[in-house]
Amino acid sequence: MNGERDHVSSAGQQSSSNDFGDTVEASEFYFAQGWTDGLPVVPPTEESVQAMLDSVGREAGEEIAFFPNRQVSVTSEKVAVNAVMAGCKPSYMPVVVAAIEAMSDPLWGYHGPATSTGGSAVFMLVNGPIARMLDINCGDNLFGPGWRANATIGRAVRLVMRNVINTLPGKLDRSTLGHPGKYTYCIAENESESPWSPVHVERGFRLEQDVVTVFAALAPHQIYNQLSNTAEGVLTTMADTMRISGSVTRQPQYVVLIAGEHMRIIAGDGWSKSDIRRFLFGHTQSSIAHLKRSRRMTGEVLPQDERTMRPLVQDPEDIIVVAAGGRAGAFSAFIPGWGSKAASQSVTKEIHRP
């Protein structure tokens, strides 16, 4: 292989060219430079990088986003190089660009979720026609392998974090445990089968717009309820599991994923997404007494602590309800957010296709 186009990890340096005998030699070079996530990457060439740039109609040096805490400018070329390395098709590039733009929003607050010992990842939810066009999985094996778009779009964002913003494990990234979503964490909403308005429409976008939402997220928690045939029964199980997952500082938001069987039961009872949010908000609160007894809060348990309740999130609207997952199986899931609402909130951006 001749003329492989390399992207160095320092955000202040420019791309350079190297010649390799074959893909194995190129891959080992990338490992040695620390430019991978631990898995082999696709060596980028000038042609493959240009195809990425053409897919978004941008020049190589054009700035996509600036991250003030890191004083890093993320250019189109740097994103394109890492998208190639991740295995993206050029048609995926608009989603990656929009996600990077969303992460630079002060509401998302890059520095906190990217560097915390709490170990959050960048969860991406794609809505609109582009999700179906790119075959972004919204169904069976939702967070599992088998879908190139899900795997490589999320991976490209993580490689940009690593190679451009220098968010390296054990250095800037101080996660105590982390979780597999830090490799890739990208899904679509099942808009075609959902009985409810999709997330982007709830957030003020038109149904036909292409949109990505980024969320500083912990790992997904699966819940199981095969016994209930009512919305209240299913969501009571969900609420009980969510309640013990929370932080005493209140987490900023939760994503609640309602899969096929549960979606049909809940919608069959006439419950809307607003009904789901209100029920979960009311049934995930813990008493101050419980929080003290479980050592989530310090201090002696006082009589009034038995009656004083602390909600999981600040407001019912902080629960983001998503229809996604397989049609079969009595399972759904929730994803806790990282930090507090003051530290990080989900951000939704339109995906622009030239």
Give yes or no: residues 111 and 26 share one domain. Answer: yes
> Rounded distance, CA 82 to CA 314, Å?
37
Give yes or no: residues 323 and 350 share one domain. Answer: no
The predicted pLDDT at position 15 comes to 63
Residue 190: domain span: 1-218+342-354
Decide if 162 contacts 6 (C-beta within 8 A).
no
Residues 243, 246, 250, 252: what is their CA dihedral angle, to the nearest 10 degrees? -100
Give yes or no: residues 207 and 303 share one domain. Answer: no
Give yes or no: residues 144 and 40 share one domain. Answer: yes
Give yes or no: residues 187 and 109 share one domain. Answer: yes
Give yes or no: residues 225 and 212 share one domain. Answer: no
> Rounded distance, CA 242 to CA 239, Å?
5
Give yes or no: residues 250 and 102 share one domain. Answer: no
**Which amino acid is it at 14?**
Q
Residue with tokens 């069976």: 140
Strand partners, 331: 224
Give yes or no: residues 127 and 271 share one domain. Answer: no
Give yes or no: residues 280 and 160 share one domain. Answer: no
> Rounded distance, CA 30 to CA 45, Å?
14
| Length of the chain in terms of residues written | 354
Give yes or no: residues 97 and 160 share one domain. Answer: yes
pLDDT tens string 221-243: 999 999 999 999 999 999 999 99
Residues 26, 32, 36, 42: what is their CA dihedral angle, to the nearest 10 degrees? 0
Question: What's the pLDDT band for 248 if we cut at 50, 70, 90?
Answer: low
pLDDT tens string 179-204: 999 999 999 999 999 999 999 999 99
β-pairing, 121-127 with 186-188? parallel
Give yes or no: residues 234 and 201 share one domain. Answer: no
Q: How many domains does the chain have?
A: 2
Chain centre distance of CA 14: 28
* pTM for this predicted structure: 0.93
Average pLDDT rounded to a whole number, residues 42-62: 96
Give yes or no: residues 234 and 288 share one domain. Answer: yes
